Structure formats: C-alpha cells, structure tokens
Structure 1
Amino acid sequence: MAALPLRALTMRQLQFFSVLVEEGQFGRAAKRLAITQPALSNAIKQMEKLLGVELLTRSTHRLELTPVGAEVLARTDFLVNTFEVALRDIESTVQRGRAFVRIGVIPSAAARVAAAAGEFTQGAQRDLELAWRDAPSNTLLAEVRSGQLDMAVAAITEPPGGLACIDLFRDPLVLVVRRDHALAAAGDADWEVIGKERLVLFETGSMPALGNPARAQFAQGAESYRVSYSETLYALVRSGQALGLMPRLYTSSLRDPELAVVPLLKPRIERRVVLAYLPGPMRNVVAQELIAFLRERLPQAAEPAVRRMKAPRVRR
C-alpha cells in the first residue's frame, strides 16, 4: 500500500512536471501552462517533498533530470497521457455517443490495417471513432508504452520490452530492380549474386537491423545508399544507380512499368509485423474488441504475390 504522502500527489502536479521537462525551462513551461513561474516552482518543490527525492538539478541555463527523476518522468508521462486520452474518451462518449480508440500503424501496413478496421467499424454494435497515427515502429511502440496509443501495428526484430505482442505475419525483404535488369528475368535472387551491386535502402526503421547483417556477410560492392522515402529509392533504381532493398509490404502499391519486384532468397530475411499493446486491463471495451478482431483478421490477409518477370523482348 502506498504511503500517505505519495497519495497526496495530484494530476496537476504531474502535468506540471511533464511540461516542465518537455520545455526545459521554468519560464516557457509556466507560459504554456498559463501560470506564474513561482507557482510552477512551488508545485515542483511540493512534489519533490512528497516523494522525498530530488527530481531535477537546476542551473542558470538548463534543467536536468536526476536518475530518479527520469524514472518518475516515464511513469508521469504514462499517467498524464492516459488521463488526457481518458478525458477524450469521456467527451466522445457523453457528447457524441461513441467510443474512441487510438491506433498506430507503420505506413507499409496501413492498407491492410485500415481495411480490417473498416470491417470492424461497419460491424460494430456501437458508434466508434478511430484516431490514426502513422509513424516508424520505434515511435509507435514508445507511444503505446506512454499511453498515447491503445495499440499499434509495428515491425520488430526483437520483442519490445513492456508490451504484449501478437504476431500477425512475416514481411520478407525483396529487391526492386529495373525491368531490363538480368535479375528481373531470373525471377529471384540471392545475397551472393547481388554482392557486387550497389544497394539503396531505408536509413531508419527495421532496415538497418535486417539488411546490415546479411549485407556485411555477402557484400563486396560499393557502400549502400541510405534514403528516407520510397520515392527516392524508386528514382535511384529507375535511373540505374542501385538496386532497391526493402520489405515486401512497401511494394504492394508499386505500379511502375519500369520496375520489377524480385524475391530475395538464401537467406530469406523477414521482419515480424505485430500488434502491440500494454498488458493488463484496457481502458475501454471497444479497444479490447478491436484487438481481438485484428488478431484474427490481419493474418488472414493474403500476402501479395511477387510475380516472376518475363525477360524483355529484344528487337532485332
């Protein structure tokens, strides 16, 4: 059972602490909170007194979290975010008569998840409002942990700490090549064959963890290009400067007559696409129902077939 002084902490104090750390300065935080700077300073001191520890080290130019302060902040952010989302739940339920669920998704899986969520909302027994968030996997998982999202469909290479995960499907790496490239005619490729080719791949997300080990084992060619967007990757492939290396999900909407998608084998490298959420009781019943629905529906979605490309005809 928590000590009585700790139970005297208020949500307002926790909100003040969270905003102060985010702003990094008492003046900016007080302005954002629409209170005076002395009032904010007193609230933080009272919070430290109740906890019996120092949360911040103060200097003329900046604030720094103590080790204990960093641990308290993680839990504070979770409580503050959960509280704010719960208030929006209440507003949505009372004023609009509908449930509210926040869901995150990696862009490459958005088409499948949106289609499945659409089926769920059409068959739901009550009105439902979905709030969507698209971002890289590490961002989505952090927002699930902090309570900003109810769930997220993300790609992982190892189990994310503190979250419950449901495996949905596997997403293998493929090559994107020019249609007149020899690999397009071959129909598939292995890592040794592409060892002397220059690759282009995404610089963030799951690609470094997936592609780098295999590339290091087999690569003999030039250093890979690193890009942030699929449009740039396709442009470099189309111009003949590199072969694209990316998860197959990204290619599901590729409709470019100049490009072909080629399975990459030996070894076949895949990322896990999972549905992640906080373990324990959910904050609303509809979120639980949506998780159960996505758990059953998403693995049933057939993976897009990668067609073998015929060799281009050569005019004589």
Structure 2
Amino acid sequence: METRELRYFVAVAEELHFGRAARRLGIAQPPLSRAIRQLERRLGVTLLERDSRRVALTGAGSVLLREGRAALDAVDAADRRTRRAGEAANGGAGLVLATKAGASSELLPKLLDAYAAEPDAVRVEVLLSGIGEQERLLRDGRADVALLHLPFDSTTGLDTEELVTEQQVVVLPAGHPLAGRAQLRMADVETLPGLPLPRWPLRDGTYPDGPGPEVRDHSQLLQLVALGRTAVLLPESCRSLLWPDMAAVPVPDAPTVTTVIAWPPHSRSRALAGLVRTATRL
C-alpha cells in the first residue's frame, strides 16, 4: 500500500462521506472513489459498504482505519524527527519536551535547571499541552520526550523511567462544608453534594457521559472549582498551584499517581539520554 492510498482511505473512513473526504483532501471525488476501489481490489476485501444514502465501514475497514492511522502517524513522526535531527546537527533545535500544562509544577523547573547545568546540555523547548495530549505529541514525533502520568496516560510501546509517585487530594471550594476535613474517602469524593467530578476527554477526543462539566485544560478546571461547579482529584503537588479560595483534602484510598519520563524506544539521541539521566538522578 502507498501512503497516499492510506490517507485517502482514512479520510473517507473518518468522514463516512466521499464528498466531504474529497474536499478535505483537496481532490475531486471521482479519483478518490477510484483509488478506494483499487485499494479494495488489491487487498481482496471490501472496506466500505456504500449505497446512495450512506457509507459504512466493514469489519476489514475498521481494522485498516486503526492500522492506517498508526502507519500514517509513524510516517509523520519519522518526517518530523528526521528534520529535527538535521536541525540539531546544524546547531538548530534541541529537545522538545511535552508536559501537561499545570502538572509536574515542582519537578519540571528542577529538571530543566539541573539539565541546563550539564556540560553537554542542549536547548530544551517545553511544549505545554492540554489534558491527554502529551502521549500523542510524543508518538507522532512533535515531541522527543514527555512527562506522563500513570495510570491516566498509556506508555505502551514507549521506554520510561519512573520519577515520583504521589498520593492524591481532592480540590474543592474553600467554603465547602467538607473543606476542613483532615481527609476524605473516595466514596465521599464521588458523592460530593453539588460538586460532580469533571469529565476528561477520551483518547478519541469525545467525553464520557455524566453530570460533571467537560474539561479541556487545568486553567479551565481551576476556574470551575473556584466557581463551585466541580471538585477534582489531583496529585498532592498541585497544592502550590491552588488559588486562595480553594482547599485540598487528602484522599488516602485514591489511586496513587506516578510521573514518568517517556521517549520512543528507537531513539539514539545523546541529548535525550542526558536529560533522562538527569531526571532519574533527581
């Protein structure tokens, strides 16, 4: 298969409409239809069921959509990493580190300062991203290394080193009747009166069902807590970021959160190895 054919198929499979897919790709619809038919003939399977009203994926089409996305991501990642390696060899870009905005607020500055003091350190660009985006940035080559948080982020297929494990606290408005407690249980947190837990985006960008507000980033989250619209479980190190009108109460039976430094397993970057060594030493 050619990457062009995969891009064509993924566009149709995501849009489930040949006209919209053609507009998205910037081509006419007839050659797009011919390319999909040619791909089906070559593979010997039907990828799409289509009639005058609808387009639907077959079982084989669903497999190719999943595998095709991964293959295209790998091609794009190879492109980005190769370009950045060339820039670094010419004295250009250094390392790109992805981390969740508002997370690892104590660890990150210590890591950057300690690494900058190393004799062979390169420039580190910090890419602050929204909730759940760090893993994708690392896998598609836009970042060389990332700070991820278990059990929320997936590290499958990545190399990692554990850096710190923390207990969680529940963050709620300071005026809430339970804000003065020495600790709370998960059962209490899940049933806080008038404070439904927020809904985080899933890997496909959608949100699970539930009464809590949809949350995209930490600044939005803190605003909603301050307004008395939600409460949230966060690692204990979040205390340094809380606003004066918020309280943090320990939740001993909540799952612990482990911060890891993660990178692609095939990386041979000396600069990346130096950053990882510094992180594990800290």
Cα gap change, 1:26 to 1:194, in 2 (>3 Å): closer
**How do 1:68-107 residues align onto structure 2 when only pairs under 5 Å count?**
68-94=60-86, 97=90, 98-99=92-93, 103-107=97-101
With normalisation by structure 2, the TM-score equals 0.69
1:281 paired to 2:273: no
Contact preservation (8 Å) 2:122, 2:271: no
Matches within 5 A, 1:174-213: 174-176=169-171, 188-191=182-185, 198=193, 199-204=195-200
Structure 1 residue 143, shift from structure 2 partner: 5.7
Q: Measure the CA separation in 2 of the matches of 1:193 and 1:178.
A: 18
Identity %: 22
Residue 121 of structure 2 corresponds to residue 136 of structure 1: no
Would you say the 8 A contact 2:98–2:129 is kept in 1? Answer: yes
Q: Does 1:251 align with 2:251?
A: no
Q: Residue 169 of structure 2 contacts residue 233 of structure 2 at CA under 8 Å; is this kept in 1?
A: yes
Where in structure 1 are there 5+ consecutive unaligned residues?
1-8, 207-223, 301-316
What pairs with 1:284-295 in structure 2 (closer than 5 Å)? 285-286=268-269, 289-290=271-272, 293-294=275-276
Residue number in structure 2 paired with 1:261:
248
Aligned-partner residue type, residue 263 of structure 1: P
Verify: 1:154 aligned to 2:148, yes or no. yes
Which residue of structure 2 aligns with residue 41 of structure 1? 33
SS state at 2:228 partner? helix
**Aligned mates of 2:241, 2:273 — CA distance in 1:** 26
Distance 2:46 2:186 in 1: 57
TM superposition shift of 1:175: 3.6
Shift of 1:233: 0.9
Matched, 1:31 2:31: no
Question: How many Å apart are 1:111 and its aligned residue?
Answer: 3.3
* Shift of residue 173, structure 1, vs aligned partner: 2.0
Residue 270 of structure 1 corresponds to which residue in structure 2? 256
Is the Cα contact below 8 Å between 2:184 and 2:249 reproduced in 1?
Answer: no
Off by >6 Å, runs of 4+ in structure 1: 180-186
Where is the helix percentage greater, Structure 1 or Structure 2?
1
Amino acid at match of 2:248: V
| Deviation by residue 1:78-112 (Cα, 9 ceiling, x = unmatched) | 22223223333444455683357554423342535
- Structure 1 pair 129–106 and aligned structure 2 pair: CA distance change class (3 A): closer
Supply the distance in 1 between the matched residues of 2:123 and 2:41 (Cα, whole angstroms).
Answer: 43
Could you tell me which residue of structure 2 aligns to residue 163 of structure 1? 157
Shift of 1:77: 1.6
Gaps of 5+ in 2: 203-209, 216-220
Select which of 50, 55, 61 maps to 1:58: 50
Size of the aligned set, in residue pairs, is: 262
Helix, strand or coil at the partner of 1:163: coil
Once the two structures are TM-superposed, the CA of residue 119 in structure 1 deviates from its matched residue by 5.3
After superposition, the C-alpha distances for 1:273-310 in whole angstroms (9 at most, x for unaligned) are 333455x423xx33x7436624652683xxxxxxxxxx
Contact 1:104/1:151 (<8 A) preserved = yes
Pairing 1:15–2:29 present: no
Distance 2:134 2:4 in 1: 26
